[in-house]
Amino acid sequence: MFDFRPGWVLLAAAAGCAHKPNDRDPQPVRFDGTVPVAGAVAADHPLASEAGAQVLRDGGNAVDAAIAAALASGVVNPSGSGLGGGGFALVVPPQGSAAVLDFREVAPAGATMAGFADPGSSTRGGKAVAVPVEGIGLAELHRTFGRASLATIVAPAVKLAEAGFERGAHLAAALESAPDMEVLFLAGNRRPALAASLRAWAETDGEAFRSGWVAQDFVDAVAQNGGSLTMADLAGYRVKTRNPLRGQLGERTILTMPPPSSGGIALLQIAGAVNAETSLHCEIEATKHAMADRAAWGGDPDFAWVPVDKLLAPERLAAIAADCGSFPLAPAHYGTAVPRGDDHGTLHISAMDAEGWAVALTTTINTSFGSHLVATRSGIVLNNEMDDFATRRGQPNAYGLIQGESNEVQPGKRPLSSMTPTIVLGRDGRPELSLGGSGGPFIVTATWQVLKGVLLSGVSVSDAVSAPRWHHQWMPDAVLAEAGTPGRDDLAALGHDVRTVDKPFSAVQVVARTPDGFAAASDPRKHGAPAYSLGPTAR
């Protein structure tokens, strides 16, 4: 059983929302049988969490709440999210099977490897933009699992875009590094063009983003900046439904993201090779194997063979666990094969409700402010997801990742991702934990460390999210560690190249269910806060 060390919030006669910004131990909401508990939402901005909680109070389920939080995030944190990108959603319903909706961007029909000879072409400008499909994907997510009306879901985000909002610390810092993106805001941080786009999304069930004026706005912005996106690319896009990957951690079941994400495989490899007694050195060694496998085999399963069964086979996990010597080895040692020669523009939202719905939703525009292109009529920042492909053989991308041939650019192909939306089922088979993060490849190690903290170490969700973190991605061959990371001196003594990272490199959001209620935490690295809904609004 999880140890949340809570100070319980007892429900009284009136329903409402409770959240505690910047509290290291957000207080869970307890069921007491008198007032219905609608659920909890953890996003990377307090206003986004509250948008989701409002939709729960208005009668929506956790899927509706997650969509509302994602739309609001695109308003208040446009450096890290928005309708110009794509994403993944893992959903566990109260009855029926868990499912993944893959609305990852794809390469335009006109994209080729030859078009990215210039190193900057995959990160800035029109060529960097993969087909932006978040609006299409969120609409499909709602059609498949949602309950509230789209007008209800979009209302909080529209209000924020029209009325403006107080600029948070994360956005303020992002704009200091990218002053060109001030163009997004009118006085008071109002975004009326985006408000019109959000209304169009709701009124057309997402079709404005496939064949309407918003889609045309995307195409025009990309064409004016040297890219190849067309209306046919958007019209031809299809959201894919996939089965989640499954792994065990004791008596609990981990559900996580399959390819084209590499995150789920890597997470399950680490979880399968590590236990509560494993040293940090051996945990990092296991992580290096997982990240080397990512480079060797990761890609879109519709275009390349990704040997999931081989990578997650018991013998492979046992081999990873056993391959830990007294000192680190050269990079060529790790992985099932040596590969042939990700943040700041991502968000994660976790949501659960009292009916039993659980959602882990991760969306992205890739790096901070994506391609730095704004579709002017819609006010939407466009992604630079083409940099997640292996656009130049043997060369690292913006996150220092070296990609294999299976992730080279092809029209209609989804780029490899590190996004790792994850839901843990308890011993009774019901969702017990929903989590995920942002940070490119740092997502994998951050999600693992929070999961380990809660499940294996028994710390509170807020302490697990707040704890200093480390990262290793095989190449470059270095341990990146936040200040205060326990055991870093021991790692250096064993021969690891340990480097301090002053700027936080990941942000994790988590919602947990206990027999008594919900506990939620948003990562303080992005100054987030969760929100709770104590019951539907009285009518």
Residues labelled as active-site residues: 346
Measured distance CA(434)–CA(37) in Å, rounded: 17
Q: Encode burial over 202-212: b for 16+ CB neighbours within 10 A, e otherwise.
A: bebebbbbbeb
Q: Where are the beta strands (DSSP E) in 34-162?
A: 39-42, 86-92, 99-103
* Angstrom distances, CA of residue 290 to CA of 259, 302, 310, 335, 494: 14, 22, 13, 7, 20
Q: For residue 255, give the nearest of 91, 95, 140 by alpha carbon.
A: 91
Measured distance CA(184)–CA(379) in Å, rounded: 7
Sheet holding 99-103, edge to edge: 17-18, 531-533, 39-42, 345-353, 358-366, 86-92, 99-103, 240-242
Q: For residue 369, give the nearest of 230, 178, 106 by alpha carbon.
A: 178
Alpha-carbon dihedral of residues 32, 38, 39, 41, nearest 10 degrees? -140
* Angstrom distances, CA of residue 506 to CA of 147, 439, 501, 502, 526: 32, 4, 11, 12, 9
